[in-house]
Structure 1
Amino acid sequence: MDTRDWPSPRRFSAHLVGGRVIDRFVGYKVSPLLSRIAGGPLSAGRVQSVALRLVAERELGIKFFTPIDHFTVKARGADWHADWRLDPFVTKEAPHVLERSLAERVATVRTVTVTKFEEAPAKRSPPAPFITSTMQRAASVTLKMSVGKTMETAQKLFEKGLITYHRTDQPSFSAESLASLFAYCDTHGIARVQKERKFKSGELAQEGHVATVPTDFAATEAGENPAERSLYRLIWQRAVASQMPDAIYATRA
């Protein structure tokens, strides 16, 4: 008997039970029929058959796709970019510019004039503190670490008491970690929210552990080797950023 989920039970879900019943209706009744028709062992299922259809339709779309060479022009400046508006040259029935010479003539333009733009305020909220999956993704992109190396390094940081547990699916702070973060921000004049910014867990999250964050935010650097130090710094920055105010800026289009 698998007892791994005993420490983190969740409420009874009629949806999961219903899904299991439908799985049996579909699988038990359709699979034998499918095998007889095909002359070999095949299976069908509530989920797998739908997924297979999506894959098959996509594959057919790729197989029968006819490529068409068409052209566009992009202009880029130091801090701006613009796309060539095709409206005068295309129609709903023929939405692409097929004449290379026309695009090449447009591309020779070296001076442009801004005739109109609209400015609008925008804001962006910070991302949640790390859970296992987001830590692995960020370490891969930012530090070029493999999943295995990331988890090995996080394990060492955890064993040294530098971070909270690194196998988690809940993006929230413990009371102690949040107090440590707020104290660090207040001491160093870093803007922060007045009360914890909360983030939603995934639909199937077990929420057995809090987010992966430093145990002491006063320690801005930690670790015995470059891998440990770089991963710790990434965890520290992500946790602090998660409790900072929204970024507010203007956009022009």
Structure 2
Amino acid sequence: MEIRYAANPVDSKQYTTEKLRSEFLIESLFESGQINMVYSHHDRVIVGGAIPTNQVLTLDVGDALKTDFFLERREIGIVNIGPKGKVVVDGEEFELNKRDCLYVGLGKKEVTFHSEDSANPARFYLVSSPAHKEYPTKVLPIADAEPTKLGSDSESNNRTIYKYIHDGGLQSCQLMMGMTLLEPNNMWNTMPAHVHDRRMEVYLYFDMDEESRVFHFMGEPSETRHLVVKNEDAVISPPWSIHSGVGTKNYTFIWAMAGENYTFKDMDFVKMEDLK
């Protein structure tokens, strides 16, 4: 498991493009037959990808967490972004079609990943945060998730938001997770921008073709920077940073948050005239 240490905004102003990418951009999460994970010191969030092919993959990072098993003091959200698969949690099976979400609570000892067709495997995206209380392990299919329509064609941000793990959906300690789908010919997300200094966020961009790119904007509102992001790249967004983007085509992204607050009302919006 790769370790990423927390970065502060003063130092980040001096980063080169290469340094900015090495600190905040996560590439190569999804590799056939493997689980890859990155541990961020921003709110102790772990981001991962799992593609089970001919062998079952088990959620395990060895001695990296200094616990007896992965979820001893953690919870996790899992979204399948590929073909049908299943996750087995302490012997209980949960089937996940594309864009379905599974929440697994504190204390579950064994979590394994399986594909229905090893030649066309599932692609599981994982986000985990520390937890202090056990909540039920449940699936929320995208067909049962309540869609919220926002934006407009005139603003190039006509989109649908699905909230998976939150106070009104799958319950958790601090992890919040959802997905945003942009309609064709719409490319902007999260603009006007905001920050939430009490919790970090991580984005996974996917459903992009090989040539498409997203320009992900980050940094303090008065000192913005950008990352050029390709399909299935993830971005760590520190609490002090905006997190917005525009693509060469429409795309889909999964957002996940963890930290001090468990609410969508703690956002500090940034006026357009204050962005630099």
What's the TM-score bracket when you normalise by the shorter of the two chains?
Answer: under 0.3
Which structure shows the higher helix fraction? 1
TM-score of the two chains, using structure 1 as the length reference: 0.19
Structure with more relative contact order (C-alpha pairs < 8 Å, separation 6 or more): 1
Larger Rg: 1
Larger strand percent: 2
| TM-score normalised by the chain length of structure 2 | 0.18
